[in-house]
Structure 1
């Protein structure tokens, strides 16, 4: 019998691990997840690197060599080395999937999220330093992030657009992607070599909206708990289907372009009252990615009930859920704006933690 991770893969969902560390690379645990749990890619972020480098032992030799160098250069060297090593590990999957999977994502310095020009410069530097075809550069989907997303794609660099919460912003992300491909075509780039994912954050939507529903305290409010995040993500898939069936897209596809796949991020359940596989088995749809923390991946592998596509055909119901929440006085626009700002603040805090960890290691 097929395992749950095999079933979800067969249904069109690529499983990426939302974690990376040198320890994981050295001890073979990442390779084991590839072999046993259908993992075909990796995503990283400042929080993940802060946790990895805080363990220290696996990085001790490198930090000894880097002692006396600039702090930020040391962080850059350690993180890009890990991503390059992971890219090497996934190269056979990258080749066998024609570049769709076998991807490893690394994020631009989150402190640049509101600075378009510096984000574009950093994205190019990361791509050139890792120097692997299967790297993806993560750029946050802020208003200021749209231009560097387009510019990076136009140079033939694959991009993971991260920190998407709202449907309106998602449409802007897709526009930035298509614009980047159009410019890449003008620049003489091979569109078939450029790939992208749009990382739509899931669980944080429930955390924020559930707290507001609890504050209302009515039976109607309680009945809507745990439903907003799935509704939002499913409507994002509807946007994906609409935008990638347009005439504009058909012209790009004819030139060799690939659809920008929706990626479900923040899929670890925050509320223990909910099933630990909620944001995996309930977000199954063709041509998507689900990047999972290891605990979520383990839960899916152990007892996930995969029943096929759980997204298409749910749009009317999903829209009704979000409308009901809005009617209770909970502003969708206010929620998604707050979540974006908080997401950037969390990444900034993790980056500062990362710098502090490396500073201590270099001094030692």
Structure 2
């Protein structure tokens, strides 16, 4: 099956396409394989919201839930088994891509319990547990870029485990994430790990930035309205400039000599929430080489149908983007407050989704136990 010309163009430009979705039906029906074959999909990301949507009300999981409940498994054990089984199966599906790309792609991400976002040691422990349970070289453990998550990132990378750093909103926090990754690689060297086997991406959220900043611009009114829909892309473009700077420096150069991989920027939350904006806005304007764009299927379909890629990102683009953020700040938007609000809301949303998943599975376990 031939690849779509537009997704192929994105891939040729250095952007890896990862699907931001996973469920049992995608795996058993062959639709995920179809996206691999037709739309250049070379990886998958999951998160608590995705698992909640996948398992809640889906009959695909009923037999497993009944069997686990019958064996006396509690809700925690059932949720862990369902989610890690799906991730393991996806890892097996993507194994050929993982091998062809020498570990760069073919990756499947699974996130630590969002309730641990502010607990460093417990995050580290669960990252190790998930890595051991999935038991696949191409799994990536997602750790949120909270203050408490940063040292966890260093420790987990230092243990030779690949990490997808998630919930990054500000460029300042992204700088700290890069530092945590490099510190992790240095620790991995001390621990005797092969750096060529360690991979990482830094997931920079995009559409949520526009949603929050647009709302503030609308309250300001007047000339500020002309800045709507610009901050999300600009923020990500500035982040790519930081990537170029940091991974061309002496600290990484020393690690690269030992086989280290760069930590690629990943554009997350790329589904456009404002219908007035182009539905490929967060793809066309974020052509960074190398980078990853993780898309919900609706966005992937839009890209395949009518994507028009802008010029590749470079240091000059980052400087122009910085000017946009300066305009937003000058208009009266407190960007530091925006980043804090978005991080807090991001963790809260994942915690809520995880809680809803536990309620759903708990009810199913109780029902199965009575049957």
TM-score by shorter chain over 0.5: yes
Aligned to 2:22: 20
After superposition, the C-alpha distances for 1:156-189 in whole angstroms (9 at most, x for unaligned) are 0000000000011000000000000000001000
1:110 and 2:104 equivalent? Answer: no
CA 1:2 to 1:108, structure 2 compared with 1: closer, same or farther past 3 Å?
closer
Q: TM-score, normalised by structure 2?
A: 0.96
Aligned to 1:333: 336
Alpha-carbon deviation of 1:329?
A: 1.6
Give unpaired runs (5+ residues) of structure 1: none
SS of structure 1 residue aligned to 2:271 = coil
Aligned to 1:358: 361
Cα RMSD after superposing both structures: 1.0
1:31 equivalent among 18, 30, 33: 33
Aligned to 1:9: 11
Aligned to 2:91: 87
Aligned to 2:142: 138
Give unpaired runs (5+ residues) of structure 2: none
Q: TM-score, normalised by structure 1?
A: 0.98
Report if aligned partners of 1:285, 1:312 keep a CA contact under 8 Å in 2. Answer: no
Alpha-carbon deviation of 1:316?
A: 2.4
After superposition, the C-alpha distances for 1:74-93 in whole angstroms (9 at most, x for unaligned) are 10010000000000000000
Distance 1:236 1:156 in 2: 26
After superposition, the C-alpha distances for 1:291-334 in whole angstroms (9 at most, x for unaligned) are 00000000000111124415553122211111111112211110
Distance 1:320 1:241 in 2: 18
Aligned to 1:241: 244
Aligned to 1:281: 284
Distance 2:146 2:319 in 1: 28
Runs of 4+ residues over 4 Å off in structure 1:
none
Report if aligned partners of 2:4, 2:39 keep a CA contact under 8 Å in 1. Answer: no
CA 1:311 to 1:294, structure 2 compared with 1: closer, same or farther past 3 Å?
farther
Aligned to 1:267: 270
Alpha-carbon deviation of 1:55?
A: 3.0
SS of structure 1 residue aligned to 2:56 = helix
Report if aligned partners of 2:329, 2:335 keep a CA contact under 8 Å in 1. Answer: yes
1:158 and 2:198 equivalent? Answer: no
Distance 2:338 2:260 in 1: 34
SS of structure 2 residue aligned to 1:257 = coil
1:72 equivalent among 67, 71, 76: 76
Report if aligned partners of 2:217, 2:225 keep a CA contact under 8 Å in 1. Answer: yes
Aligned to 2:185: 181
CA 1:18 to 1:154, structure 2 compared with 1: closer, same or farther past 3 Å?
same
Q: How many residues align?
A: 363
Aligned to 1:348: 351
SS of structure 2 residue aligned to 1:50 = helix
